[in-house]
Amino acid sequence: MWDFFETVRLRHSIRKYQPDMEVEEEKLNAILEAACTAPSAGDLQAYHISVVRNPRIRQALSDAAPGQQFIATAPVALVFSADPVRSAEQFGERGANIYALQDTTIAAAYAQLAVAAAGLASVWVGEFDEQGIRDALGLDADQIPLSILCIGYAAEVGGLSPHRRLDDIVTWL
Ligand SMILES: Cc1cc2nc3c(=O)[nH]c(=O)nc-3n(C[C@H](O)[C@H](O)[C@H](O)COP(=O)(O)O)c2cc1C
């Protein structure tokens, strides 16, 4: 088990997974619980999470993301979809256009860190055909799939990405 800062520092994307190593249900539940503790506007949690283990559906997700066959080979894919209608009920246009997307993204980020803390590997996938993902998952037309988190045990050694320098990003006032 890593501590929080170690988890954040050492997490990196992995796109090859051990084919015969399932993700334990207990870990999956802990990851989902962590995702759902993320802050959200008005505590509305304006998102839905699809847990995809079925190989046929994983292939359908992969088909909606050309060139990203690893989606089909990951034992689990978590798909985070925004629910703008839920946020709009309280926050109107800002809820639909901004808060629902933020709620969803934060939850997915929490999940990705929980994946790392649980000793698993992942990659965040954002490039896909939205309607293709909706069709694969049977989502409503108003739900917006934002990220696919592919999860499994690593079968490659990844490296840490060279992040931008802090002073290139941060202004102290
Ligand atoms: C919004 C977003 C979209 C991304 N889309 C993809 C993608 O479609 N395919 C992919 O292989 N990686 C994707 N990534 C992963 C990034 O390439 C990766 O996080 C980045 O290169 C930094 O590497 P690291 O995760 O190892 O730190 C995405 C990440 C984010 C946050």
Asked if the structure places residue 11 within a domain, the reply is: yes
* Residue ranges making up the domain that contains 87: 4-156
pLDDT tens, residue by residue, 89-123: 999 999 999 999 999 999 999 999 999 999 999 99
| Cα 142 to middle of ligand 1, angstroms | 25
pTM metric for this prediction:
0.97
Kindly state if the Cβ of 154 falls inside 6 Å of ligand 1: no
Closest atom of ligand 1 to CA, residue 70: 11
Burial degree of 103 (CB within 10 A; 0-12, 13-18, 19+): buried
Nearest protein Cα to ligand 1, atom 7: 125
The domain tally of the chain equals: 1
C-beta neighbour count of 85 within 10 angstroms: 14
Q: Does 113 sit in the ligand 1 pocket, CB within 6 Å?
A: no
127 lines ligand 1 (CB under 6 A): yes
Phi, psi for 29 (deg, rounded to 5) = -65, -40
Beta strands per DSSP E along the chain: 47-52, 76-82, 121-125, 144-152
Contacts for 93-98: CB closer than 8 Å, 24+ residues apart: 95/41, 95/42, 95/44, 95/46
124 lines ligand 1 (CB under 6 A): yes
173 domain residue, yes or no = no
pLDDT tens for 35-92 read: 999 999 999 999 999 999 999 999 999 999 999 999 999 999 999 999 999 999 999 9
